[in-house]
């Protein structure tokens, strides 16, 4: 066997058959990679995607030479949930150019965590605006940087956040805290689904 390669990564179980996505969005230095690392079963990996703005629905490597190419790098980690379900956590930069790739990379995502530094709330405005427009369920998690505590009500006000969107406090370095953030997100998604007409819900379940 290829022992060097198999040592380098923790393989998934043979029965794994359903990949799921959750995206952690936030500005530079807000702790996205830290949060991914604290709950991931693998050392966070990094990869990148490239696309041109002129042709957003197709990959066109020949255009990478040109100035229209957009390249974004992102981190990710992994959590094996059970024998079949594997959750991938993506740390995504919130800046504008990234959103050209959102649909390509994160269509079908369960939801998003907007990780923010309460001292730099304005860094999150753009990401929240885009998530609302995409209709992606999300929660806001304030990473604790050890300074004076910020009142969640003030944060909500500064973000002009819908009342139904939860704000939680967290320490991205803590596995337990990061885990609670993900649980809060999934519970929010469940409520989000529950708010939709029951008819839609049941018809979907029958066709799947």
Partner 1 sequence: MRRPGRDDTPDRLYTLTGGRTRSGPDSPFDLVTLVVAESEPTTGMQSEHVAILRMAQTPIAVVEVAAELGLPVSITKILLSDLLAAGRVSARHPRTSALPDPDILEQVLVGLRSL
Residues that bind partner 1 (CB under 8 A): 2, 5, 9, 11-14, 16-21, 39, 45-51, 57-65, 71, 76, 78-82, 85-88, 90, 105-108, 110, 175, 179, 182-183, 186-187, 189-190, 193, 196, 200-201, 204-205, 208
Q: Which is nearer to partner 1, 82 or 132 (CB)?
A: 82
Q: Which is nearer to partner 1, 7 or 160 (CB)?
A: 7
Give 10 or 154: the residue with its C-beta nearer to partner 1.
Answer: 10
Minimum Å gap between C-beta 120 and partner 1 is 28
Which CB, 52 or 143, lies closer to partner 1? 52
CB of 147 to partner 1, least distance (A): 28
Question: CB of 70: closest distance to partner 1 in angstroms?
Answer: 11
Q: Please, what is the minimum distance in Å from the beta carbon of residue 118 to partner 1?
A: 25
Contact 143, 30 (CB under 8 A): yes
Contact 76, 36 (CB under 8 A): yes
Closest approach, Cβ 64 to partner 1, in A, equals: 4
């Amino acid at each position: 066997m290829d022992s060097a390669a198999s040592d380098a990564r923790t393989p998934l179980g043979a029965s794994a058959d359903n990949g799921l996505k959750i995206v952690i969005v936030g500005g530079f230095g807000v702790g996205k990679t830290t949060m991914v690392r604290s709950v991931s079963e693998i050392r966070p990996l990094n990869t990148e995607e490239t696309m041109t703005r002129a042709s957003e629905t197709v990959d066109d490597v020949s255009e990478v030479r040109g100035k229209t190419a957009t390249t974004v790098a992102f981190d990710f980690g992994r959590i094996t949930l059970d024998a079949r379900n594997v959750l991938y956590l993506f740390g995504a930069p919130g800046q504008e150019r990234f959103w050209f790739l959102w649909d390509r990379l994160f269509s079908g995502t369960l939801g998003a965590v907007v990780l923010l530094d309460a001292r730099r709330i304005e860094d999150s405005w753009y990401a929240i605006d885009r998530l609302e427009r995409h209709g992606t369920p999300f929660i806001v998690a304030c990473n604790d940087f050890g300074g004076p505590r910020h009142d969640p009500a003030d944060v909500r006000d500064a973000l002009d956040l819908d009342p139904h969107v939860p704000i939680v406090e967290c320490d991205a370095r803590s596995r337990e805290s990061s885990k609670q953030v993900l649980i809060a997100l999934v519970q929010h998604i469940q409520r989000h689904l529950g708010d939709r007409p029951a008819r839609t819900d049941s018809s979907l379940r029958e066709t799947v």
